[in-house]
Amino acid sequence: MEVLSRIDGEAGQWVVQSLDDISPELGHQIVAWGFGEIYHRPQLLSRERQLITLGMITVLGGCEPQLEFHVSASLNVGLTPEEIVEALLHSAGYCGFPRALNATIVAKKVFTERGLLPVTGA
């Protein structure tokens, strides 16, 4: 829970709690395995993990709520809006413009909520 809280604070806790009445085990696995085991490994920095995660979720498509969470988490671990936009632009060559566009729209929503628009130099 400490790693999840460090990466996305209250939003991470909200996701886990939202599963309490339907699948508390899924919430447990997100915390124990996803963040306790995988995100806690020292071989990659949190920034690097978030860039990889943004790319993977963008490629999957249809994961906009999770992408919103991870765009926010990416900002929390030190990625800049310009770096996030560049990663999403880069993904267009690998997963297509529709998925890259959808991901960019999600990022815009997060940036708007945080007062980070316009993104310059992107």
Comparing C-alpha atoms, which of 31, 33, 38 is closest to residue 15? 31
- The answer on 71 and 37 residing in a single domain is no
Count of structural domains, the chain: 2
CA distance linking residue 110 with residue 10, whole number of Å: 15
Q: Which range has the worst mean pLDDT, 38-47, 83-92, 97-106, 108-117?
A: 38-47
- The answer on 94 and 35 residing in a single domain is no
At 23-80, the pLDDT tens digits run 999 999 999 998 889 988 999 999 999 999 999 999 999 999 999 999 999 999 999 9
Where does residue 96 fall: left (phi above 0), alpha (psi -120 to 50 degrees), or beta otherwise? Answer: left
CA distance linking residue 104 with residue 110, whole number of Å: 10
The pTM of this model reads 0.88
In the chain, the percentage of residues whose pLDDT exceeds 90 is 77
Which residues span the domain enclosing 112?
Answer: 44-122
- The answer on 122 and 93 residing in a single domain is yes
- The answer on 109 and 55 residing in a single domain is yes
Contact yes or no for 89/58 (Cβ under 8 A): no
- The answer on 59 and 33 residing in a single domain is no
Q: What's the confidence (pLDDT) of residue 42? A: 93
Whole-angstrom Cα Rg for the chain: 14
